[in-house]
């Protein structure tokens, strides 16, 4: 079961991709709803189940625990599934997994009968209240309450529990946003233009996206609107030499190639031998022939010099928890410190590969200062003395300027804009 393996730390996305391949569009959508629904509400579901259970959920086996969560989510959040069907399905699962069908049957039926009596946490402890209601780990809620205040933290937590939109980037080498929108409409897929990224479209229901002719013809790449802004910040020149230091699956590398009119060279560096194949796959489909996937560790790679450098640094991903809800359960504060050490090493090494006068963009999809501005500050105070922060607004669409703070850092995670939470800093190497 996907939920059980996700609890062990396996990425739910990969498990879902494998499982959904054998389902039709309707069953595939239901599977996605069930898995993400449980992951987004896990603490709240556990709280309610524990109120009626003779034993705490964390003292039962993983199979039973996740079958109960699945049944409880259907009972309390999905009105289109009859309660009897939700309970019976859970009992049938328990017959082969966990083998506690009597316990599961009794607890779920009791939950259905007493749903109006379920208590929510009180106001006396805001961290616990928000942690339970929005199902985020207490350590993360505590951080956000301290940094943003209770009300702002609550808004971020609520946003993380909303389904993420499906956003694509028109491949400007082969089409325009307007022509792509027409082509999708001809295939029965409606869309709307993104408000900030000039090549972006937010799609409505589209069934199997990879079956679309527009996808197979390489007319678009799936990429959130915030991620599209990062490549624009780099402002790569046609004919230039560019390094994308942490490139898989190739979304930004191919975008950079498109911005360069497919003229020049984009070295797409990736340390993961499994993921590097995704760069080749996406580049081939999109026709970005100047993208060259290269295996290597960005902390030690020898190459260049380069005119432009993108470091989309490996991070905790705390800005994309609505898109990857399992991430909230597989991260802790030690992961922040571990990622920050890797980020510092990548920036320190790769900065030496940049030509004088060249531009460098450091970006993450996380919210934490240890992985964002503190990385930039430490670099500039140390070996980055020959770099300076450059205002990215001249390279961004005018409307996106609202995400740039007084120091020149781009942040999207605190705005009610529908985008993923990204951080970006543009640096120039002094000539």
Query: Which token pair is 55?
Result: 């034993």
Which helix or strand (DSSP H or E) is residue 45 part of?
Answer: helix 42-52
How far is 347 from 299, CA to CA, in rounded Å?
8
- Alpha-carbon span 390 to 367, nearest angstrom: 21
292 and 216 together in one domain: no
279 and 362 housed in the same domain = yes
User: What per-residue confidence (pLDDT) applies to 69?
Assistant: 96
Q: What is the dihedral of CA 208, 211, 216, 220, to 10 degrees?
A: -20
Per-residue pLDDT of the chain (431 residues; tens, 9 = 90+): 788 888 877 778 777 777 777 777 777 888 889 999 999 999 999 999 999 998 899 899 999 999 999 999 999 999 899 999 999 999 999 999 888 999 999 999 999 999 999 998 988 999 999 999 999 999 999 999 999 999 999 999 999 999 999 999 999 999 999 999 999 999 999 999 999 999 999 999 887 888 999 999 999 999 999 999 999 999 999 999 999 999 999 999 999 999 999 999 999 999 998 899 999 999 999 999 999 999 999 999 999 899 999 999 999 999 999 999 999 999 999 999 999 999 999 999 999 999 999 999 999 999 999 999 999 999 999 988 999 999 999 999 999 999 999 999 999 987 667 899 999 999 999 98
Look at residue 415 in the predicted model and tell me its pLDDT.
63
Q: What pLDDT sits at residue 169?
A: 98
Task: Establish whether 246 is a catalytic residue.
Answer: no
Is 378 found in the same domain as 248? yes
Residues 347, 263 share a domain: yes
pLDDT of residue 431: 81
Same domain, 149 and 236: no
Helical H runs in 187-332? 213-216, 225-234, 251-259, 276-286
What's the pLDDT score for residue 416? 66
Contact 230, 422 (CB under 8 A): yes
Which one of the listed residues 246, 315, 350, 365 is annotated catalytic? 365
* pLDDT score recorded for residue 30: 84
Render 179-201 in DSSP notation, one character per residue.
HHHHHHHHTT--EEE-SS-TTEE
Predicted confidence at residue 6, as pLDDT, reads 82
Could you tell me the CATH number of the domain that includes residue 372? Answer: 3.40.50.150
Asked whether residue 134 falls in the same domain as residue 101, the answer is no
Domain count, the chain: 4
Whether residue 156 is found in the same domain as residue 173: no
Q: How far apart are CA 397 and CA 184, in angstroms?
A: 25
For 163, how many CA atoms within 13 A lie in the half-sphere containing its CB?
Answer: 13
Query: Residue 215 sits in a domain of what CATH number?
Result: 3.30.70.1170
Backbone dihedral angles phi then psi of residue 377, each to the nearest 5 degrees? -60, -45
Would you say 360 and 227 are in contact if contact means Cβ atoms under 8 Å apart? no
Domain boundary among 87, 117, 147: 117
The gap from C-alpha 142 to its chain's centroid, in whole angstroms, comes to 21
Percent of all residues in the chain with a pLDDT value above 90, rounded to a whole number:
84
Neighbours of 25 (CB within 10 A): 13
Look at strands 200-203 and 166-170 and give their pairing. antiparallel
87 and 62: one domain? yes
Domain that includes residue 329, residue range:
225-429
Same domain, 182 and 245: no
Same domain as 270, residue 391 = yes
Among 222, 237, 259, identify where a domain stops. Answer: 222
Provide the residue count of the chain: 431
Question: In terms of domains, do 266 and 378 share one?
Answer: yes
Among residues 160, 184, 214, the one where a domain terminates is 160
Cα R_g (the chain), whole angstroms: 23
Q: Are 390 and 430 in contact (CB under 8 A)?
A: no
Tokens read off for 236: 């790569």
Q: In sequence order, what DSSP letters do the residues of 257-270 get, joined into one string?
A: HHHTTT-SEEEEEE
- Same domain, residue pair 196 and 245: no
Q: Please give the pLDDT value at position 11.
A: 79
């Amino acid at each position: 079961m996907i939920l059980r393996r996700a609890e062990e730390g396996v990425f739910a996305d990969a498990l879902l991709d494998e499982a959904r391949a054998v389902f039709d569009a309707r069953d595939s959508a239901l599977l996605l709803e069930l898995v993400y629904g449980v992951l987004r509400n896990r603490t709240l579901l556990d709280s309610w189940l524990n109120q009626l259970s003779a034993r705490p959920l964390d003292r039962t086996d993983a199979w039973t625990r996740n079958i109960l969560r699945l049944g409880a989510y259907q009972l309390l959040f999905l009105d289109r599934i009859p309660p009897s069907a939700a309970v019976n399905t859970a009992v049938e699962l328990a017959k082969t997994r966990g083998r506690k069908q009597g316990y599961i049957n009794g607890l779920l039926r009791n939950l259905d009968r007493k749903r109006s009596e379920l208590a929510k946490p009180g106001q006396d402890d805001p961290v616990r209240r928000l942690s339970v209601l929005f199902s985020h780990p207490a350590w993360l809620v505590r951080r956000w309450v301290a940094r943003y205040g209770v009300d702002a933290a609550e808004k971020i937590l609520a946003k993380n529990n909303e389904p993420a939109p499906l956003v694509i980037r028109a491949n400007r080498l082969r089409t325009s946003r307007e022509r792509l929108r027409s082509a999708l409409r001809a295939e029965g897929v409606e869309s709307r233009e993104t408000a900030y990224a000039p090549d972006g479209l937010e799609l409505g229901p589209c069934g199997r996206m990879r079956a679309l002719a527009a996808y197979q013809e390489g007319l678009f790449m799936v990429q959130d609107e915030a991620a599209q802004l990062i490549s624009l910040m780099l402002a790569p020149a046609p004919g230039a030499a560019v390094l994308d230091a942490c490139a898989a699956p190739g979304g930004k590398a191919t975008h950079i190639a498109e911005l360069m009119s497919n003229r020049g060279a984009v070295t797409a560096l990736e340390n993961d031998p499994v993921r590097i194949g995704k760069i080749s796959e996406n580049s081939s489909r999109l026709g970005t022939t100047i993208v060259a996937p290269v295996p290597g560790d960005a902390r030690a790679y020898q190459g260049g010099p380069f005119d432009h450098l993108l470091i989309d640094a490996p991070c905790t991903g705390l800005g994309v928890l609505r898109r990857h809800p399992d991430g909230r359960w597989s991260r802790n504060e030690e992961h922040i410190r571990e990622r920050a050490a890797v980020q510092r090493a990548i920036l320190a090494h790769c900065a030496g590969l940049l030509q004088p006068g060249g531009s460098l963009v450091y970006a993450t999809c996380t919210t934490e200062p240890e992985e964002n501005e503190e990385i930039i500050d430490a670099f500039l105070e140390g070996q980055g003395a020959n770099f300076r922060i450059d205002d990215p607004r001249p390279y961004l669409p005018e409307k996106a300027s609202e995400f740039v703070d007084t120091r020149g850092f781009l942040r999207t995670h605190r705005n009610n804009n529908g985008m993923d939470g990204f951080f970006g800093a543009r640096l120039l190497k002094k000539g």
